[in-house]
A = this chain, B = another copy of it.
Amino acid sequence: MPHALILSRHAQEYASLIATANLPDLQVLATSSTTTAIEQGRDCAIVFGEPNLIRLVLSRLPALRWVQATWAGVEPLLDPNLRRDYVLTNARSVFGAPMAEYVFGYLLAYERRLLQRYTAQQFGRWDPTPPGTIRGKRLGLLGVGSIGAELARTAKHFGLHVKGYTHSSEDCSSVDVYYHGADLQAFVTDLDYLVSALPNTPHTRHLVNAGVLSALRAKAIFINVGRGSAVDEVALAKALNTGRLAGAVLDVFQEEPLPPTHPFWETPNLLITSHTAAITIPSEMTRVFVENYQHFIRGEALQYRVDFERGY
């Protein structure tokens, strides 16, 4: 009988949801305590939960064969000093829809001048300034995995032109044109919106640097829903402070929570959303776990397997 450790701040909620799935022969230990996990988890072949907690118990689980992370980014488990003798799967199909709501909510708010109209209203001012439109605009996606694909699909719904920048994949039909490797400048040069959904890997570090920012049109908007490490934050603050870039919406940062002294708090035309773009919804995350569990007990390949070397 497989033993599973649920190690999560929401362990009891996940345990209840998994119980309703009536998985055959599964025995569950649900806890938010790493101490409990270490003391009682030595028979667990399966771990389901948050990568930052799992990292703390990883070396103390002798029976471990599979970890299902509840996050898309699994950096805490990618440290080369940690064991890699298990299958790591991440949360890959659940964040596309909320990310699309976030990105298009902010793009539309920008074009519709939502904040400016709100300010006018506070002063009792009728503000007939015409809005902009996202239709017909050029969106560039840095990274086209499951999140980028959903962003592309929503972009096509609204009539945008979609450019994708990836390592090598070209498998999303909603992307109009792909760029790779050294084509980064050509990729960004005519964009209205640049959106990063890049994971944190050695290859993505500071990909959005001063050179990329200066290749963007001055009226472009940058949105980051991936990881803060992909952005040179000093260069971005400078681009916004000098008006070189029209605006940015950042959900992720090199250090989170963003430190009180960070220059971004004083940077103009920057919206900060405190890593809330796509929160994990336990019922959907449980669906991912349950599906993968059924593959696991049948000895089949698991979905959303992370390549430790590649980092995603």
Contacts and interface: CB of A to CB of B under 8 A. Distances in A.
Contact of A128 (B98, B111, B126, B274): B274
Contact of A158 (B101, B109, B256, B274): B101
Given A97-B135, A124-B260, A126-B257, 6 more contacts: A98-B133, A104-B105, A108-B108, A115-B118, A154-B158, A157-B157
A106 interface: yes
Each complex incorporates copies of this chain amounting to 2
Interface string A84-105: 0000000000000110111011
A157 B150 CA distance: 11
A51 B214 CA distance: 46
A97 B135 CA distance: 8
A160 to B, nearest CB: 11
Interface of A: 97-98, 100-102, 104-106, 108-109, 111-112, 114-115, 117-118, 120-121, 124, 126-131, 133-135, 154, 157-159, 256-258, 260, 265, 271-277, 279
Most B CB contacts (10 A, CB to CB) among A98, A114, A120, A256 go to A114
A146 to B, nearest CB: 16
A130 B101 CA distance: 13
17 contacts: A97-B158, A98-B131, A101-B108, A101-B111, A101-B158, A104-B108, A105-B109, A105-B114, A106-B114, A109-B114, A112-B273, A117-B271, A117-B273, A117-B276, A126-B258, A126-B272, A127-B276
A36 to B, nearest CB: 26
Contact of A271 (B97, B106, B121): B121
Contacts of A159: 97
B271 A101 contact: no
Contacts of A273: 112, 117
Most B CB contacts (10 A, CB to CB) among A106, A126, A274, A275 go to A126
Nearest to A127: B274
Contact of A109 (B98, B109, B134, B272): B109
A118 B271 contact: yes
A130 B100 CA distance: 16
A133 B101 contact: yes
Contacts of A120: 274
Contacts of A131: 98, 101-102, 276-277, 279
A104 to B, nearest CB: 7
A43 B47 CA distance: 82
Nearest to A98: B133
A112 B117 contact: no
A109 B102 CA distance: 9
